[in-house]
Amino acid sequence: MNNFDYVRPTTMSEALAAASEPGAAYLAGGTNLLDLMKGDVARPSRLVDITRLPELNRIEWLPDGGVRIGALVRNADLAHDSAFARRFPSVAEALLSGASAQLRNAATVGGNLLQRTRCNYFYDVASACNKRAPGAGCDARGGEGKHQAILGWSESCIATNPSDFCVPLVALDAVVEIEGKAGRREVALEDFHRLPGDAPERDSVLEPGELIVAVRLPAEAADFSGHARYLKVRERTSFAFAVVSAAAALRIEGGAIIAARIALGGVAMKPWRARAAEDVLTGKRPAEAAFRRAADIALGAAKPSGDNAFKIELARRIVARSLTLAAAGAPDRLPSLPASPFAATAGVLLHV
C-alpha cells in the first residue's frame, strides 16, 4: 500500500476542501477502497475520512412519501430498517444478497454506488487494463468471461458493475445527491454510471472532489412494494458477486399490469434499466408468455464480449423468473437466502 495523508474532517466544507487536491479519495466503510489499495490498484495520496460527518448518517422520510438515504448509512442498517424494507423490499433483498454480514456492517450507501468493477484483470496489476491504466490495453478480451459484460461494452473495456443494491435502485428511479465546491446537484442513478466507451477509467459522472451525500427514492417507488423482487445467480448461494441478476417490480390492478420496472445486474458497466421491456408489459396480464417476451426485448441488444454467450440466455431466464416472482408477491419476510433462485418461498413455483 502506498503511503498517504489521513485527514478526518468534521464538516462538509472541510471535507470538500480536503478532497480538492489531485490524488485525494474519500474514505467511508473502506471495504472496497482498502482492498484496492492493498492490491496497489488504487494509490490515493490523501484519504479524507468522512465517517464523522453526522448529517450523512440518516434515513429521512420525505413529506411526499419518498425517502432520502444518507450516503453514510451502512448497508445492513438500511436493509434491516423495517419501514424501509416494507416499502422497498427488492432493495432490502438486494442489499442482503451482497457480500457478508461483516462487510454489510461497514459498507455504505455512497460507497456501494462507487465500488469499482470486480474484473480480475482490473485487480491484477500484472494484466493490461484500460480502466486502471488508460491506453494499456485489455487483457480481459479473450480471457475468462463469466463476470464480463454482454451489454454496453466497448473494445476498450468489457468489465461490469458489481453492485446488487444499484439494480433495484435504478429500476425504482433513484436519484443521487452530489455535493461539490460549486454546490449541490442531482443526477438520476440511471445516468450516474458511465458505459466504458473509449474512456473506461471513468466509472461515473462524479467529478474529482465531489461527494455523494444521499440517494433518494421517489414516493412512486413504494407503489411497487407488493410486487418487487431481486433475483441473483452466482457461483455459490452466499457471499459471491452476481453472474447475472435482475430486479423486477410490478403494479397490478384488476388482473393487469399497470406499470413494470426491470433492471439487470452483472451484465454491463452500469445497472441496466430495461425500459423497452417494461413498456411491453403495460396492460398485459401477468403471465409467463408476456414475461418471456419482455425478457427477449430486455436482452435484444446483448452480444457476448468473450466466452460468455451463455449469460444472454441466462439473463433472459432471470428476467422472466424475477417477473414471475414479483407477480407472485413480495414475501412478508425476506427469504433465508435473499435473492437466491434456490430459495423456496411458500406458494411460489421453483421452476418456471
Partner 1 sequence: MNMSISLELNGVAREVILDDPRVTLLDLLRERLDLTGTKKGCERGQCGACTVIVDGRRVNSCLTLAASCDGAQVLTIEGVADGDALHPVQAAFIAHDGFQCGFCTPGQIMSAIGLIAEGQAGDDPERVREGMSGNLCRCAAYAGITEAVLEAQKEMTERDRRHAA
Residues binding partner 1 (CB under 8 A): 1, 3-6, 8, 27, 30-31, 34-35, 38-39, 47, 49, 51, 74, 76, 80, 99-103, 105-106, 238-239, 336-338
- Which of these, 231, 225, 290, lies nearest to 263 by C-alpha position? 231
CA separation for the pair 161, 47 (Å, rounded): 23
Closest approach, Cβ 245 to partner 1, in A, equals 17
Indicate the SS3 state at residue 313: helix
Residue with cell 393487469: 256
Closest approach, Cβ 238 to partner 1, in A, equals 4
Closest approach, Cβ 167 to partner 1, in A, equals 20
**Contact present, 83 and 40 (Cβ < 8 Å):** no
Indicate the SS3 state at residue 234: coil
Closest approach, Cβ 106 to partner 1, in A, equals 5
**Contact present, 251 and 257 (Cβ < 8 Å):** yes
**Contact present, 275 and 124 (Cβ < 8 Å):** no
Closest approach, Cβ 324 to partner 1, in A, equals 22
Nearer to partner 1, 1 or 256 (CB): 1
Nearer to partner 1, 336 or 346 (CB): 336
Nearer to partner 1, 329 or 335 (CB): 335
Nearer to partner 1, 11 or 102 (CB): 102
Nearer to partner 1, 17 or 34 (CB): 34
For the chain, the residue count is 352
**Contact present, 148 and 305 (Cβ < 8 Å):** yes
Closest approach, Cβ 2 to partner 1, in A, equals 9
> Cα-Cα-Cα-Cα dihedral of 304, 308, 310, 312, to 10°?
-40
Nearer to partner 1, 10 or 282 (CB): 10
